[in-house]
Chains A and B, each alone.
Chain A
Amino acid sequence: MKNIITLNDLIIKAVEELDEERVIKLASKALKSGMDPLFLLDLIKEGVKRVGKLYEEQKYFIADLIMAGLIFKEVLELEEIKAQFQRKSDEIEGKIVVGTVKGDLHDIGKDIFKGLMEVNGFEVIDLGVDVPEDAFVKSVIKYKPDIVGLSGVLTTTVESMKDVVEALVQAGVRNSVKIILGGNHITREACEYIGADSFTNDASEGVKICKQLLKSK
């Protein structure tokens, strides 16, 4: 029993230290010795959360968040995990559709935000990059998310984001979702101009805002 406990800690720690090889080695070992894949994922998520914490404390930076995201992805690719990866819906805090808006291909920020949302219990539907407004509308109708998250870094995305909000209004679904914007260039004025509910230029703050938005729904 003692062994297992230390293995858990080791896994979390390896993630926290961003030691990719060690994470994969330990994870494979744990799975072989019978660890429940869902439990393993929780450990990994705990590690990623700690990375997020270190980021908030300014001990880690964006390159570290990218690395944590890569490790998370790698673990999801393990055979045992792939087979099992079906979250029970009662564990889900909320559902969000995210995407980088039309004209923009930058996805580093979006992927970081997505990763942090997942480890915080959200179901994330990721539409990718350069996503036109009607793709957002379609997926809002299809998945009925609580929140729509629009990502972008280019100054031109102010218009693309506005187009998405307007398209949601047109389709009559604007009021069924909360809309949050993410990107460094977004200011309060830009957020008002776009007509979103909230904005941030920090992924972990984004997670907090999303939790609040859920409550206020």
Chain B
Amino acid sequence: MEDAKVLQQERISIYHDIYDDRVPKRVPVNINLPFEVIAQFGGLDLRQAHWNPAMLEEAVDRICELVYSDVCVFMGSFRYPSFYHILKSQSFKMASNGYIQHPEVSGMYPEDYDYLIKNPYDCLVERVIPRLYKAFNPDDPIGFALNFAKSLLAYKEDFTLSAEIRKKMIDKYGYYPEGLFSENCGFTETPFDFLADQLRGFKGISRDIRKMPGKVAAACEALYPLVFKKGLPKKISKYSQVFLPLHMPPFLREEDFAKLYWPTFKRMLDEYASMGIRCTIFCEHDWMRHLDYLYELPTDTTLWFEYGNPKLIKEKLGKKHIITGLYPIMNLKTKTKKECVEEAKRYVDILAPGGKYIFNFDKSPLLLSDIKLENLCAVAETVRDYAVYTNPGEVAGMVFKKEDYKASALKNFESRYYISREEYEKLYPELSDFARGKLERLDDEMFDYLMFLLL
């Protein structure tokens, strides 16, 4: 236990050094494995484990013991079947092998654009969510209300269970305690990706870009306050992070990217930065065409790359941003241990100098058979032992200051399904401040859940 505390202090200091723009003692090893991989590792039936996350604890403990990482190896899951099942989700369904499938869906039609632009939240709640979640059945309002409440209970239960496991492991193994699922972090999508994902689908959006680019741009503007709010951490600290996976840019022409994707994306990161929040963005696929744009993002944005030339990335962006990713997870399956280890050193040699580097793979494995665990362990330990700095404490590149960023006056959205504090004051002058604050918080939680269903 004492050892764990000491180790945790070291881990906190290497992560904080990175975010405080100093060269850390060594490169943080940021390895997370998804729920499915750990369940398989523990020999569990995925169908059962997904319904009963508590079952995972023993396997999580064993994998934490086995695999070196500075953050908890178990990252939890967003996709528990309980609430999706209750809501009759079309977007997320459990396959016969227990895997949670996500088929392509399109919950919004081209004719919905005008309503979305005018009243984004109403449109999502009235049209999009009911199409994707069949339990929203207007012919059975009472049945539906009960099922919706039930799904929210399930959601809370399953997330609490996996958070408890994570908490235990963080204490037992002394991991860096902050991260995607902690209170001071958030998760969201950019307006364009949110629109492209479950609303229009990838094929639908490709058509809209050509046929109605003006509406696409206006829809991104309309969605902006919603996705921004969704990402806001519950508690904002100096080390708060918002995580955004970015899907569409590699598929767009530059002029479409510049006009439709970039403006609300850039504004979002600037606005978070003005509040002292830095973002981790997962640049899916190949972003080499977009490096100059990435440079424009707030200092210390963590850029998680999937593909690309590490040298060029480091040269162009390494002084301003924090780089992570790139190491191909496929190697762990198809190459020898020796080759994997050599390759890890090669990435470290290119990306570590000067600081602002966190080790991670290009993407997460999906199933245990995607990797050889032995190679994974060897790579993680190599980075831990090899990627040690001789100049810890020195200033690492550019320094982040939240004062450098201006927030655009955040226009809150209005909707009959979301009551703000001011409205509560008008509606219920007789209530105490505490009571109104509580109601507002519950509205926020409801907002959070409904938006989650579309992420």
Contact = CB atoms under 8 A, between A and B. Distances in A.
Interface of A: 18-21, 59-64, 66-67, 70, 103, 105, 107-108, 154-156, 158-159, 184-185, 187, 189-190, 193
Interface string B283-304: 0010000000000000000000
Contact of B203 (A103, A108, A154, A193): A108
Contacts of B101: 105
Contact of B367 (A67, A156, A187, A190): A156
B103 interface: yes
A187 B330 contact: yes
B222 interface: no
A158 B251 CA distance: 24
Given A20-B207, A66-B202, A158-B370, A61 B252 contact: yes
B103 A189 contact: no
B117 interface: no
A105 B103 contact: yes
B415 interface: no
A60 B253 contact: yes
Contacts of A59: 253
B340 to A, nearest CB: 11
Contacts of A159: 369
Contacts of A67: 206-207, 209-210
Contact of A70 (B203, B307, B370): B203
A158 B335 CA distance: 14
Contact of A63 (B252, B363, B367, B369): B252
Interface in B328-353: 328-330, 333-335
Contact of A20 (B210, B250, B251): B210
Contact of B99 (A18, A64, A103): A103
A158 B206 contact: no
B370 to A, nearest CB: 4
A63 B251 contact: yes
In this complex, the member of B102, B207, B256 whose beta carbon has the largest number of chain A beta carbons within 10 angstroms is: B207
A9 B378 CA distance: 60
Contacts of B206: 62-64, 66-67, 70
A159 B368 CA distance: 11
A66 B248 CA distance: 13
A20 B211 contact: yes
B210 A18 contact: yes
5 contacts: A19-B210, A66-B203, A66-B206, A67-B206, A158-B334
B328 A187 contact: yes
Contacts of A61: 250-253
A193 to B, nearest CB: 5
A30 B249 CA distance: 37
Contacts of B335: 189
Contacts of B363: 155
Contacts of B365: 155
A182 to B, nearest CB: 15
Contacts of A64: 206, 253
Given A20-B210, A59-B253, A64-B206, 11 more contacts: A20-B211, A62-B251, A63-B206, A63-B248, A63-B251, A70-B207, A108-B203, A155-B329, A155-B365, A184-B307, A189-B335
Nearest to B365: A155
Pick the 5 closest A-B CB pairs, nearest first: A62-B251, A189-B334, A66-B206, A63-B206, A155-B370
Contacts of B205: 63
B44 to A, nearest CB: 18
Contacts of B209: 63, 67
A111 B331 CA distance: 28
A49 B369 CA distance: 39
Interface in B227-256: 248, 250-253, 256
Contacts of B103: 105
B210 A190 contact: no
Contacts of B104: 105, 107
A24 to B, nearest CB: 12
Nearest to A155: B370
A118 B365 CA distance: 34
Contact of B211 (A21, A155, A190): A21
Contacts of B329: 155
Contacts of A66: 202-203, 206-207, 251
B366 interface: yes
A19 B252 CA distance: 17
Contacts of A189: 330, 334-335
Contacts of A154: 366
B244 to A, nearest CB: 20
Contact of B330 (A20, A105, A107, A190): A190
Contacts of A105: 101-104
Given A61-B251, A105-B103, A156 B369 contact: yes
A142 B376 CA distance: 43
A156 B334 contact: no
